[in-house]
Structure 1
Amino acid sequence: MRYLPLSEIDRQQMLSAVRASSIDDLFVDVPEGARLDGPIRDLPNHASELSVERHMSALARKNVAAGDGPFFLGCGAYKHHVPASVDHIIQRGEFLTAYTPYQPEIAQGTLQVMFEFQTQVARLLGCDVANASMYDGSTACWEAIGMARRITRKTKTIISSGLHPHYVSVAKTMAKFTGDTLETSLPVLTAETDAEQLIAAIDDQTNAVVVQYPDILGRITDLTPIADAAHAKGALLIAIVTEPVGLGLIKSPGEMGADIVAGEGQSIGVGLQFGGPYVGLFATREKYVRQMPGRLAGETVDAEGKRGFVLTLSTREQHIRREKATSNICTSSVLCALAWSVHMTLLGEKGLRTLAEINHARAVQVAERLSSIPGVELVNDSFFNEFTVKLPVEARPAVHALAEKGVLGGVSLGRLYPGESELQNGLVIAVTETVTDEDVDALEAALKEVVR
């Protein structure tokens, strides 16, 4: 939406309509000490639209865009190939209906897509039922913690050190207002996960254990022992998935006993998009469905017995009292969910498994080549398409040096965990089907120069 400034005549007419003599009259309720006494000094004066466009374009040219060169970034947002047919299909008239399908008789296309999306998510995550999407993975993670509290009526949550720190940050922010107690820790640059420590920490006051699968360092662990230990104490296991493509190759969390599986669906059908919008995935067991947050599209029949779709079990704040709602998130990412479902349908089960195999095989190749560089140590003994290496130098400056050579070489743990000295040399590298042999050559050559 373009910004269209007002003329002085426009301003005077508007002020006259509200019986104000000047703009300052509109702010009389703001304490004088909180008001600025003039323009903000660090901001430039107004400029023409053409000048602003040129300035912003010049700033944009300083960035290294995802498509400009070798790309190995991950940590919750992944560069996968999204077929052009996805963008074409989501713009068809069948789907360009009302955003919120409160009137099912005129929104059957949208509701059916949501229903099919839920089916695909439930099957992929290994659960009985899924909702019609959420904002993103981090908020879905918090909603899972809130759901566990409602089910168990306990407020202590144990969070794995392998959970993405941004997800932890969102949970901590929300817990300030709910009274939840979150037990967190930091990852260690070793191949071993914290599964044993999580099991030992579970007690009768625990409502849930939250683990990421694969975790922030790309490590994969068997969730079954954690699930068994949690259930023995009346707690739930919450599994967070940030790379759903991996579930085409590794066992789903639901198969290993996870009670709630949530996470980020961006890597299927949704581009990087400058960090959003993305799509949150959320699935659970059938016995917990009435505590599940968000929208749920259900199948029914109309008065003539024909198949139809409706929103059902919608205990959202728009429908009942806020304090009784299962979620205070008032919407879902329907367009991104549609793109996710279209891409998943185009892939099919065989296509997803093949895509996952390609990702893993290419990641293994890259890990072997990089770990052969003197001083570079591979942390993982298992991974899907993302792994961590320990550099002989601090990783954050190394990432900047790689970028100067035109290679986006990964995410430094120093960026994710600032101030944690033991993690500063860690570099998380993601490898997808978009990586070419030339990209791998460029990363290897550039990293050799950076760490020597």
Structure 2
Amino acid sequence: MNPYLPITPEEREQMLKKIGVDSIEDLFCDVPEHIKLKEELKINDPLSEMEIRRRFSELGKKNKNIDDYTCYLGGGAYDHYIPSTVGHIAGRSEFYSSYTPYQPEVSQGTLQYIFEYQSMLAELTGMDVMNASMYDGATATAEAALMALRIKKKRNKIIVSKTVNPDTIDVLETYCHFRDIELEYLEEKDGETDPASLEKIDKETAGVIIQNPNFYGIIEDVVHISEAVQESKSLLIMNVDPSTLGVLEAPGKLGADIVVGEGQSLGIPLSYGGPYVGFMGTTTKNMRKLPGRICGETVDEDGKRGFVLTLQAREQHIRREKANSNICSNQSLYALMNTVYLSTMGLAGMKEVGNQCVSKASYAYKKLLETDKFEKAFDKPFFKEFVVKSKVDAEKINEVLFENGIIGPLDLGKINEDMKNHLMFSITEKRTKDEIDKLVEILKGVE
């Protein structure tokens, strides 16, 4: 089979003749000779479509995935069940290949599902308004910090709890470093934000960032933190896992001024780490400081319902220096997947997912402690993730589990050297009692 060619040699000759040059090389006459490559590129010979499919199939088999392995790895991306409706709807060509809805008159379908996405996320988080949408949870958190500074114009300090996901903190540190923003930290104690460090929140603080459940899976005392933030008239920024909000109290009802998070747990595959989708919501008072865009519902001249881009605070729509963000984009296809997931699950389904996560995680925690191979790392309430301290080398545990078709827990010692042999297990609604019992039996035999 012949390799795919965009044009034939004859067509190439016609094009060169038309523009008055003899060869492709003549097009690069302005490039100095001494920097031109004088030899062939050291790449493989071209392959046919059939050969490429075979080659990539061989490469793909080297990956280990959750279809073949039971997964207990979390830390920000989770193995939740995805209803078949999600892929079916998102895979339709009118959604899969659609572009940014700059012209509302020809983009009503896209605008409608974005409006529904915003409405569902706003209800789930207890916020007045939700944008559509952000790159991922980490950049959404950093954008929320910038938003807090736009609201509190005379303040230049952001405080973040050390119980926030380390990857999110890394992104936040990058944003703050290059914008000369003062960044301070709330200390952690026993796996949660240390109440004693709340005294750092002062009149110079624009925003305070916490995560609930936090990186260790522990449910934070949000009410106490919220009270401390309100005393300094700062803004409370909460990073949340939306899959927990069918059971946990909505952050808007806990005093959050800005809510952000990662939407991967709502119908998006793990995909070896991305791409994902972030969300950001706030109060009506602060709505115009949101980055991104907001879709709104209206009526046309005939009184029929329609949808438009109500707020467009991006550099593509207004002067760059006036934009609320110069990098945020609308992850529209993944926002659609979130929308279909939430529509399919409904309130009852979200509650069921949350309750199963809590119940199964509690069961796994209890059974692991009974093996006498693990001990408690923290004695705090958790949701779907928990940390235990292993009496056996953490790397050895994950090696044995992998050999038995299991993707093991997150080795926290690789993130923090003070947490050597601390393992964080993620237990979602997908895990069965038999799978958890198998996990425990294998770990009993690890020496």
**TM, length-normalised to structure 2:** 0.88
How many pairs are equivalent? Answer: 439
Contact 1:298/1:309 (8 A) holds in 2: yes
SS of the residue aligned with 2:159? Answer: strand
CA distance in 1, matches of 2:126, 2:297: 20
SS of the residue aligned with 2:209? Answer: strand
The structure-2 alpha-carbon separation of the partners of 1:354 and 1:8, relative to structure 1 and needing over 3 Å to count, comes to: closer
Q: Which residue does the alignment assign to 2:149?
A: 149
How far does residue 379 in structure 1 lie from its aligned partner after superposition? 2.7
Which amino acid counterpart does residue 225 of structure 1 have in structure 2? H
SS of the residue aligned with 1:216? Answer: coil
CA distance in 2, matches of 1:30, 1:277: 41
Where do 1:100-111 residues align within 5 Å?
A: 100-111=100-111
Which amino acid counterpart does residue 443 of structure 2 have in structure 1? L
CA distance in 2, matches of 1:139, 1:436: 34
The structure-2 alpha-carbon separation of the partners of 1:31 and 1:210, relative to structure 1 and needing over 3 Å to count, comes to: farther
How far does residue 435 in structure 1 lie from its aligned partner after superposition? 0.9
CA distance in 1, matches of 2:258, 2:157: 16
Q: Which residue does the alignment assign to 1:448?
A: 444
Where do 1:368-407 residues align within 5 Å?
A: 368-380=366-378, 381-407=380-406
Which amino acid counterpart does residue 384 of structure 2 have in structure 1? N
Contact 2:394/2:423 (8 A) holds in 1: yes
Alignment of 1:204 with 2:200, yes or no, is no
CA distance in 2, matches of 1:15, 1:400: 59
Contact 1:15/1:23 (8 A) holds in 2: no
Q: Which residue does the alignment assign to 1:413?
A: 412
CA distance in 2, matches of 1:121, 1:178: 30
Which amino acid counterpart does residue 106 of structure 2 have in structure 1? I
Alignment of 1:68 with 2:64, yes or no, is no
After superposition, the C-alpha distances for 1:373-403 in whole angstroms (9 at most, x for unaligned) are 2231233421111111111244345323321
CA distance in 2, matches of 1:37, 1:97: 40
How far does residue 106 in structure 1 lie from its aligned partner after superposition? 1.9
Q: Which residue does the alignment assign to 1:358?
A: 356
How far does residue 47 in structure 1 lie from its aligned partner after superposition? 5.9
CA distance in 2, matches of 1:393, 1:337: 42
How far does residue 86 in structure 1 lie from its aligned partner after superposition? 2.1
After superposition, the C-alpha distances for 1:122-176 in whole angstroms (9 at most, x for unaligned) are 1111111111221111111111011011011222111111111111111222223
Where do 1:78-93 residues align within 5 Å?
A: 78-92=78-92
The structure-2 alpha-carbon separation of the partners of 1:27 and 1:253, relative to structure 1 and needing over 3 Å to count, comes to: farther
The structure with the largest strand share of the pair is: 2
After superposition, the C-alpha distances for 1:392-433 in whole angstroms (9 at most, x for unaligned) are 244345323321221111211134x1xx32122221111111
The structure-2 alpha-carbon separation of the partners of 1:30 and 1:78, relative to structure 1 and needing over 3 Å to count, comes to: farther
Greater alpha carbon shift after TM alignment, 219-228 vs 86-95? 86-95
Q: Which residue does the alignment assign to 1:173?
A: 174
How far does residue 437 in structure 1 lie from its aligned partner after superposition? 2.3
Contact 1:15/1:22 (8 A) holds in 2: no
The structure-2 alpha-carbon separation of the partners of 1:186 and 1:397, relative to structure 1 and needing over 3 Å to count, comes to: farther
Contact 2:142/2:172 (8 A) holds in 1: yes
The structure-2 alpha-carbon separation of the partners of 1:59 and 1:255, relative to structure 1 and needing over 3 Å to count, comes to: same
After superposition, the C-alpha distances for 1:13-51 in whole angstroms (9 at most, x for unaligned) are 68996967749957947996xx989789xx874463566
SS of the residue aligned with 2:293? Answer: coil
The structure-2 alpha-carbon separation of the partners of 1:257 and 1:8, relative to structure 1 and needing over 3 Å to count, comes to: same
Q: Which residue does the alignment assign to 2:339?
A: 341
CA RMSD of aligned residues (A): 3.0
Q: Which residue does the alignment assign to 2:112?
A: 112
Which amino acid counterpart does residue 405 of structure 1 have in structure 2? N
**TM, length-normalised to structure 1:** 0.87
